[in-house]
């Protein structure tokens, strides 16, 4: 007769004390390095703010310088006219009912300043900074055309709502009958004042 032996349970090995100590030491080193990095960055930012406040240095000092203005030559005068025509065209296209109509009105309102665009380019090519200035005005014109179409989309529903509220008022005012007051009776003014009418 065979007698079965009881099952044996394996006992896990105990962790190596040396490996556990190294792991703890490594984790502590990582935490210390992260804290030191954060503290150093905070100190540098604080020192930078203090230096900027003491010496009056702002973030504008580190920005790229802006474009230098043009002189009072023919290029600058022509570009001022082009800019004014863009603003005028935006105002003219603001009341257009559709996008297509807004584009048409905007393009027509750019005249006569933009009719001589080739001449403006030729004049600005001869001046320092002229081509860059003309490019900025040209970008303004294209952006204005987009705005002219977009404002029709945004304002169109609101204009229809306002027209729906105001149309009945205008119709009722226009259709209201105008009746003249009746003529006064003979002697009414005299009776009201207590004066006898003369025979």
Inside any domain, residue 149: yes
Per-residue model confidence as pLDDT tens for the chain (199 residues): 555 555 555 555 666 777 777 778 888 888 888 888 888 888 888 877 776 666 656 555 556 666 777 777 899 999 999 999 999 999 999 888 888 999 999 999 999 999 999 999 999 998 888 999 999 999 999 999 999 999 888 888 888 888 888 866 545 555 555 555 566 665 554 454 455 555 5
Alpha carbon separation from 155 to 4, 145, 152 (Å, rounded): 92, 16, 5
The CA distance from 60 to 70, in Å, is 22
Q: Are residues 103 and 46 in the same domain?
A: no
DSSP sequence for 56-71: T--GGGGSPP-PPPP-
Inside any domain, residue 199: no
Inside any domain, residue 164: yes
Q: Are residues 38 and 99 in the same domain?
A: no
Q: Are residues 32 and 79 in the same domain?
A: no
Q: Are residues 95 and 143 in the same domain?
A: yes
Q: Could you list the residue range(s) of the whole structural domain that residue 38 is in? A: 27-60
User: Shortest CA distance to 134 belongs to which of 144, 122, 147?
Assistant: 122
DSSP sequence for 5-25: PPPPPPPPPPPPHHHHHHHHH
Q: Are residues 159 and 108 in the same domain?
A: yes
The Cβ of residue 155 has, within 10 Å, a number of other Cβ atoms equal to 14
Q: Are residues 159 and 90 in the same domain?
A: yes
User: Shortest CA distance to 82 belongs to which of 99, 70, 94?
Assistant: 70
Q: Are residues 92 and 162 in the same domain?
A: yes
Our count of domains for the chain comes to 2
């Amino acid at each position: 007769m065979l007698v079965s032996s009881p099952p044996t349970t394996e006992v896990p090995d105990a962790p190596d004390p040396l490996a556990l100590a190294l792991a703890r030491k490594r984790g502590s080193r990582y935490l210390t390095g992260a804290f030191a990095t954060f503290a150093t960055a905070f100190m540098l930012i604080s020192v930078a703010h203090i230096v900027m406040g003491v010496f009056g240095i702002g973030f504008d000092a580190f920005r790229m310088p802006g474009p230098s203005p043009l002189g009072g030559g023919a290029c600058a005068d022509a570009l001022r006219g082009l800019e004014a025509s863009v603003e005028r065209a935006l105002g003219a296209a603001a009341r257009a009912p559709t996008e297509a109509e807004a584009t048409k009105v905007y393009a027509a309102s750019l005249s006569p300043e933009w009719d001589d665009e080739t001449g403006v380019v030729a004049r600005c090519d001869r001046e320092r900074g002229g081509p860059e200035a003309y490019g900025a005005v040209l970008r303004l014109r294209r952006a204005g055309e987009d705005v002219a179409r977009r404002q029709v989309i945004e304002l169109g529903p609101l204009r229809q709502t306002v027209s729906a509220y105001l149309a009945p008022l205008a119709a009722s005012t226009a259709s209201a009958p105008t009746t003249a007051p009746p003529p006064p009776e003979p002697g009414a003014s005299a009776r009201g004042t207590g004066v006898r009418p003369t025979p």
